[in-house]
Amino acid sequence: MPDPIRVLVTGGTGFVAGHLIAQLLNSGYLVRATVRSLNRDKDIHGSLARVGADLSQLEVVAAELNSDDGWAEAVDGCQYVQHVASPFPPRQPENEDDIIIPAREGTLRVLRASSAAGVRRVVVTSSFAAIGYGPKPSGAPFDETDWTDTNGPVSPYVKSKTLAEQAAWQFAAQPGSPELAVVNPVGVFGPLLDENMSTSVQIIDGLLHGRPPVLPRASFAVVDVRDVADLLIRAMTSPQAAGQRYLAAAGQPVTLPEIAAVLHDRLGADAARVARREVPDWVVRTAARAFPSLRELAGLLGAPKAVNNTKAITQLGWQPRPVAETVTATAESLLQLCSAAAGR
| Summary count for the chain: helices (H), strands (E) | 12, 13
The pTM score is: 0.95
Q: How many domains does the chain have?
A: 1
Residue 210, domain member (yes or no): no
CATH number, residue 234: 3.40.50.720
Range of 149's domain?
A: 6-189+224-249
Three-class SS state of 162: helix
* 78 located within any domain: yes
User: 220 with 187: CB under 8 angstroms?
Assistant: yes
Give the other-Cβ count within 10 Å of 230's Cβ.
22
**Residue 313 in domain:** no
Residue 75 has pLDDT above 90, yes or no: yes
The predicted-structure confidence for 322-339, as pLDDT tens digits, reads as follows 999 999 999 999 999 877
Which residues are known to be catalytic? 161
In a domain, residue 322? The reply is no
Backbone dihedral angles phi then psi of residue 309, each to the nearest 5 degrees: -100, 15
Q: Is residue 174 part of a domain?
A: yes
Considering the domain boundaries, does residue 270 fall inside one? no
- Is pLDDT of 92 > 90? no
The total of other beta-carbon atoms located within 10 Å of residue 271's CB is 19
Domain assignment of residue 86, yes or no: yes
Tell me the per-residue pLDDT of 199-236, one tens digit each, with 9 for 90 and over: 899 999 999 999 999 999 999 999 999 999 999 999 99
Residue 136 within any structural domain of the chain: yes
